[in-house]
Structure 1
Amino acid sequence: MESSEYKHVVLSLIFLKFTSDKFEERRQELIAEGKEKYLEMVDFYKMKNIFYLPEDCRWEVVMAHAKQADIAVRIDTALKNIEKKNPSLQGALPDNYFSRLGLDTAKLSGLLDTINNIDTLSDKENDVVGRIYEYFLGRFASSEGKGGGEFYTPKSVVNLLTQMLEPYKGIVYDPACGSGGMFVQSIKFVKSHQGNTQDIAVYGQEYTATTYKLAKMNLAIRGISANLGEVPADTFFKDQHPDLKADFIMANPPFNQSQWREANELENDARWAGFTTPPTGNANYGWILHMLSKLSVSGTAGFVLANGSMSSNTSGEGEIRQQLIEKDRVDCMIALPGQLFYTTQIPVCLWFMTKNKQAQTFNDDRQNYRNREGETLFIDARNMGSMISRTQKELTADDIAEIARTYHAWRGETKDGEYEDVAGFCKSARLEDIQKNDYVLTPGRYVGVAEEEDDGIPFEEKMGTLSKDLFQQMEQSEKLDQAIRENLKMLGYE
């Protein structure tokens, strides 16, 4: 099978095993507490954020029939009944998927044995279940290549967005949520800063039906409650959260999406209100204006786009970008290194937008912000990152910390020290600076060139060494040329 198909087989079975393990653990708790009469009552599982599993859905029952010819039907029945018994899983699990695949019983049984060996309960401190699931999502994205980005954003990019936005409290929204990685990382951020996850409300939308199911499973496995809409749907044509105003928006929408709307469709959409021209080229500026329309009065959005979005003037995009800048909506622009994504080698950037750059005071753990009206921060991170394979790069924890610290210091958060422009890395520019650059938002235009350190070697000494090396190489080149001529002569090609 193609990995685009078998990921649903593997991840569905992992989901079944993990939820069953959690159910059984809770069941043993109830027995230990002398509450045997409550063992089949849904509410006694729901109160601990655990799914209730009817008997035919439990892992040990499935494994007892693993070698039988009807095992695929039994798995489908188990998944269907779990969904039926737990309304929050509506539309999350594959429907008669295993029966339709016609898998070899021996191979499916072998896979069940492998998954049966995963111990999901021994480590109480770490999110083992979530980490295994996340590992599989990442590996499938890598093996699928082009298709992987539809459901998975590289972890280091998600971490950077989270560390920049710091979603402590409020509504988090992702209009192209894939398998839900942005939400998972937001909840992890809250937990790592001793916050209350009940202070975060999660909303999202996903177009692809299979990815929508992955997202629901991914969030359910971690006990994250989220509103992803009733069905998978196109964010532009069937917005499932029309009245939503989000405090934090995190997204990695499809790059340079063409044919996202036909001529005259969405022409007078309310999301473009206040802009003299609707987005008509690829979907990049459609996503930008959609997310801007979803921001609360003091909300902040951080999202990934192709580099072309920073400078394009086709299809009215330059005009829309100019209006975004003049309305003072662009907070920060980051140029990222290449090779971060499984799906594309297209260079990408991060946009950060807000409707409010005035000074803000918070009553929770967040630092206060200074007045940044008329200012935009540019960060050039193209030289950051480390290769983790022959074709793949990722931002290190130090890279992420340095970029986030720079942004927070620029916003005036005292815990991160005073902000300073650094040649070749960051620059706080004013509106007039951006106007002089024809409203182009490419960080390289603003940050300048980093100063090179003097190695302390006098010019004459360095030039002498370089010249000596050059002459030696020229001599070697002559010898190689002569050797090639001799070989050609031997072959009859004088």
Structure 2
Amino acid sequence: MFIQAVEFVRNYKKNGHSINIYGQEKATSVWRVGKTNTLLRGLECDLGDKPEDTFKEDLHKKLDGQLNKNGVAAVILANNSVSAAKKEEEIRKNILEDNLVDAGRERKDIFFADCSDFVGEIQGRKVRILKTEEINSITKEYRKWFGNKNYLPTDFTAKAALEEIKKRDYLLLPGIYTYQEEKPRDPQEIKKEIQKLSSEILETFHKLELERKEIEELLTKLKQDGEID
């Protein structure tokens, strides 16, 4: 994620070193791999001077004080942290109630984007990279939402008031909020679809009947020739 962020900035002809990268990892092996990977790519990262559990010891307690008034910090959460209970729920609660979510800071609603249906490009066995046009569509919708209090969500975006999120135990799973009930369909459209399916089914039955007759004729001939009893 760090590497992708720097590449994104560089692609827009800006200085990749204008991004300050901080991280923390509990597992020693993962922490060492992260340190090595960023060093090899020439990235200046503060991943702490040791592997440590964030819940036990926060190595970046004063991080928020390093932002200027226009600064933005990206907080990357593990998948289960947006829905897990206990400590994770408390973290989500504090982030939301302290008004720290950029996609909601100056509004009474939070912007959600569910990109799980985006195709992207598969790299390796587990990595899916979003295509440029997919990233642009997310950015476009975010900007539309940010500048319009009457924003109408699309099929992959949503807006939810803090009160609604509270009722859902501060869950931050986008799919919960972007889900839309299926709209009533036109009866004429349904009728046409049924007629089409009926025709296809009848045609299939006809083909099966022809195949059945061919098989019966073949079996009869084989019996007459004494090849089967």
Q: Quote the Cα distance in structure 1 between the aligned partners of 2:14 and 2:22.
A: 19
Please list, as runs of the form range in 1=range in 2, the aligned pairs for 1:279-290 lying within 5 A after superposition. none
Q: 1:318 to 1:233 in 2, by over 3 A?
A: closer
Aligned partner of 2:146 in structure 1 is 411
Please list, as runs of the form range in 1=range in 2, the aligned pairs for 1:148-227 lying within 5 A after superposition. 158=1, 182=2, 184-227=3-46
Deviations 1:215-265 (A, max 9, x none): 3443333333333333444444454444433668xxxxxxxxxxxxxxxxx
Aligned partner of 2:122 in structure 1 is 388
List runs of 5+ in structure 2 lacking aligned partners.
220-229
Aligned partner of 1:168 in structure 2 is none
Q: Quote the Cα distance in structure 2 between the aligned partners of 1:441 and 1:465.
A: 42
Aligned to 1:463, the other structure's residue is in SS state helix
Aligned partner of 2:162 in structure 1 is 431
Aligned to 1:245, the other structure's residue is in SS state helix
Please list, as runs of the form range in 1=range in 2, the aligned pairs for 1:57-456 lying within 5 A after superposition. 158=1, 182=2, 184-245=3-64, 299-306=72-79, 309-310=82-83, 312=84, 314-315=85-86, 321-322=92-93, 324-332=95-103, 357=105, 371-372=106-107, 374-386=108-120, 388=122, 393-412=128-147, 420-435=151-166, 437=168, 439-447=170-178, 448-449=180-181
User: Number of residue pairs matched?
Assistant: 214
1:318 shift after superposition: 5.2
List runs of 5+ in structure 1 lacking aligned partners.
1-157, 159-181, 249-295, 333-353, 358-370, 488-494
Alpha-carbon contact 1:423-1:450 (below 8 Å) kept: no
Q: 1:383 to 1:301 in 2, by over 3 A?
A: same
One-letter code of the match for 2:119? G
1:467 shift after superposition: 0.4
1:189 shift after superposition: 3.3
Aligned to 2:74, the other structure's residue is in SS state strand
Q: Quote the Cα distance in structure 1 between the aligned partners of 2:56 and 2:169.
A: 33
Q: Quote the Cα distance in structure 2 between the aligned partners of 1:215 and 1:390.
A: 18
Alpha-carbon contact 2:121-2:131 (below 8 Å) kept: no
Q: Quote the Cα distance in structure 2 between the aligned partners of 1:305 and 1:397.
A: 23
TM-score, scaled to structure 1: 0.34
Q: Are positions 1:463 and 2:194 aligned together?
A: yes
Alpha-carbon contact 2:81-2:88 (below 8 Å) kept: no
RMSD: 4.5
Alpha-carbon contact 2:17-2:44 (below 8 Å) kept: no
Alpha-carbon contact 2:28-2:51 (below 8 Å) kept: yes
Larger RCO: 1 or 2 (CA < 8 Å, sep 6+): 2
Q: Quote the Cα distance in structure 1 between the aligned partners of 2:26 and 2:120.
A: 33
Aligned to 1:429, the other structure's residue is in SS state strand
One-letter code of the match for 1:218? N
1:377 shift after superposition: 0.7
Q: Quote the Cα distance in structure 1 between the aligned partners of 2:90 and 2:41.
A: 43
One-letter code of the match for 1:408? R
Q: Quote the Cα distance in structure 2 between the aligned partners of 1:322 and 1:212.
A: 28
Aligned to 2:138, the other structure's residue is in SS state helix
Deviations 1:52-91 (A, max 9, x none): xxxxxxxxxxxxxxxxxxxxxxxxxxxxxxxxxxxxxxxx
Q: Quote the Cα distance in structure 2 between the aligned partners of 1:307 and 1:450.
A: 28
Alpha-carbon contact 1:406-1:419 (below 8 Å) kept: no
Aligned partner of 2:227 in structure 1 is none
Q: Quote the Cα distance in structure 1 between the aligned partners of 2:32 and 2:124.
A: 32
Alpha-carbon contact 1:425-1:450 (below 8 Å) kept: no
1:297 shift after superposition: 10
Q: Quote the Cα distance in structure 2 between the aligned partners of 1:308 and 1:240.
A: 19
Q: Quote the Cα distance in structure 2 between the aligned partners of 1:389 and 1:298.
A: 32
Deviations 1:90-113 (A, max 9, x none): xxxxxxxxxxxxxxxxxxxxxxxx
Aligned partner of 1:339 in structure 2 is none
One-letter code of the match for 1:407? Y
Aligned partner of 2:222 in structure 1 is none
